[in-house]
Amino acid sequence: MAPLPFWHWYDVYVSLTFKINKAATTPPGREYEVSRMDVVGRYKGWRKYRRTVNELSSLSNRELEDLGINRVDIPFIARQAR
C-alpha cells in the first residue's frame, strides 16, 4: 500500500486541532448540534472539492496549459477552492 500524501496528513492534523479547540469552547449540551453542523459543512466542502476536481480533470492538457495549471496541481487547486 502506498503512503498517504502530505495533504491527507495535513487534513487530519487540522481536523484534530479543530476538534480539540472546539471541545474547549463548546457549551455543555451543544456538542451534538455543533458536530451535526460540522458534518454538513464538511460534506459541502467535500462536494465543492470533488466538483472542482471533476471540472478541471475534464479539461484537455492544452486548456489546462492556457490556464497555467498542470494536471498534478489539480488536487491542490481544488483544496484552495474550498
Residue ranges covered by each domain of the chain: 45-82
Question: Using 50, 70 and 90 to split pLDDT, how confident is the model at 70?
Answer: very high
Under a CB-based contact definition with an 8 Å cutoff, are residues 69 and 77 in contact? yes
| pLDDT tens string 16-30 | 555 555 555 556 656
Rounded to two decimals, the pTM is: 0.56
Give residue 44's pLDDT. 87
- Mean per-residue pLDDT of the chain: 75
Q: How far apart are CA 82 and CA 63, in angstroms?
A: 22
How many CB atoms within 10 Å of residue 38? 14
> Which three cell numbers, joined as nine digits, stand for 33?
448540534
Give residue 3's pLDDT. 58
Question: Using 50, 70 and 90 to split pLDDT, how confident is the model at 50?
Answer: very high
